[in-house]
Structure 1
Amino acid sequence: MKALQFSQTGDLSALRYVDLPTPLPAAGEVLVEVRASGLNPSDVKNVLGRFPYTTLPRIPGRDFAGVVVQGPQNLLGKAVWGTGKELGFYNDGAHAAYVKLPADGVALKPESLSFSQAASLGVPYTTAWDALERSGVGRGTRVLVIGAGAVGRAALALARVRGAHVLG
């Protein structure tokens, strides 16, 4: 399979486009044919060496969307998406043709989202959700979001869903 991989950190020039064997899922795991993967600041920082716990060599990429090609029968052929704190750090990530991960690490992709849209939601939306949870945002809360990046846009959308008065 084709993949982006780095064997050392410090500079983005460490990324190489390589041919690797397709991963083999174990019991309780799925193999997802990646149709789209997100690029997050943490993926870039990882290649730069900002996460010393990353094991090398490594395929980066935390957010993905694709189709299950191996794994439990109930997931075979299903369009899925996901994100992971270990993907790209301790385990190979989604900047590859395939990604292997625990079966409970995927969710069915909503039909209303394209693969690209689904792959762009993971880190931004989980970051925004965590911030809103920690801040106790709910119905009637006033929320001011400064910044129009992916996390800021996610925070605005999620705050609205929670019934907050949103300023951005």
Structure 2
Amino acid sequence: MGEKKTDNEFERNEIVRELIDDFAEQIKRLAYTYVKNWAVADDITQEVFISCFKNIDHFRGESSYKTWLFKITVNRCKDYLKSKWFKSMVPFRGDEKVEVAASLDDGLIQKGEEEEISLKVLDLSVKYREVIILFYYEDLSIQEIYDLTGIKMETIKTRLRRAKLQLREMYEGVE
């Protein structure tokens, strides 16, 4: 009986290791889009995979591993944004744009125009930023976004429309 448990532990470890290899960067980028801080995004990414490791045996297969991990990530980010610690922080007003631009260079965006759009996406409110990132950057369908967030599909479509309109207005306002 103990040998079977060891086999299960080995299998669980292998699955989690593969998930980390496949999705760690996407999870970190997704977390960043919520919290706008790479160090916090790193912490949330670690928390997501710790949670994954602890709960992998309870994964029911009703969604893909990617959707499951994204759901954990979104929930962790929302918990962080609701936390007393986050709310008590004084917003930093110094080199925010420099830090964001340098961090984006890490792989989120590569070209100048795309970088400009990405910075504008990060300026959207969370509810609009969330659907834009999931739909365009993570290539999730509206159904997958619904499965992940629980937001009604019509609301997702409306938020996508409004977010695109806001981005267009921001972009045109610069030119």
TM-score in same-fold range (> 0.5)? no
Greater strand percent: which structure? 1
Q: TM-score, normalised by structure 1?
A: 0.24
